[in-house]
Chains A and B, each alone.
Chain A
């Protein structure tokens, strides 16, 4: 079973920020949180990952709650190309990268 839970779908307008939530109340202190996104008929694309501190890269920001029970992926200005399924995944240390994928959040971006 996935250790993370996400809303099934979300909707946003183009040029507006998007906050994608993820609950992971049962992960351990050494489990990294990874975010990927997947467009139809394509492979998962890496977005961002973190452990405890908030992280920023050119694609997005990741805000991790202080108690690590939840995190939020932030797309600062949504574009139509950001419409995809977003997966929040825990990656336990020493687990041979057996990532457990849920169904993710399907993000629709309105023009």
Chain B
């Protein structure tokens, strides 16, 4: 049973370019979460999605960031016009249900570097 799959693992973008990060949840999981980890900091919640629905995007920056989880295919976190401050590790996680008693499983992360 494959875990949460993220790609690319490492991505380098120049300022002003777009970054697209993909996440395939674990088999049977319909809840996807994106977290961001800045250097020397803890993870910060960004967004929670179910298929074709954004449930909670309270942690997403208001501009340049968007997320989707289409009916078919992986979840995508899109960052437009990247700036140096977007350099971070972006982690996707998934769970079979949303109640707090069950486990969230994380992927290996996508490490974005903006030069």
Residues of A that sit less than 8 Å from B by CB = 2, 30-32, 34, 36, 41-46, 49, 51, 87, 91-104
- Contact: B100 with A98, CB < 8 Å? no
- Contact: A45 with B48, CB < 8 Å? no
- Contact: A92 with B58, CB < 8 Å? no
Question: On chain B, which size bracket covers the interface?
Answer: 20 to 34
A-B CB pair tally, cutoff 8 Å: 67
- Contact: B44 with A101, CB < 8 Å? yes
Give B55 Cβ to nearest chain A Cβ, in Å.
6
Give B101 Cβ to nearest chain A Cβ, in Å.
6
- Contact: B58 with A31, CB < 8 Å? no
Which segment, of B61-69, B76-84, B105-113, faces chain A? B105-113
- Contact: A98 with B105, CB < 8 Å? no
Closest 9 A/B residue pairs (Cβ): A101-B42, A43-B106, A91-B100, A96-B56, A101-B43, A98-B45, A44-B106, A32-B100, A43-B108
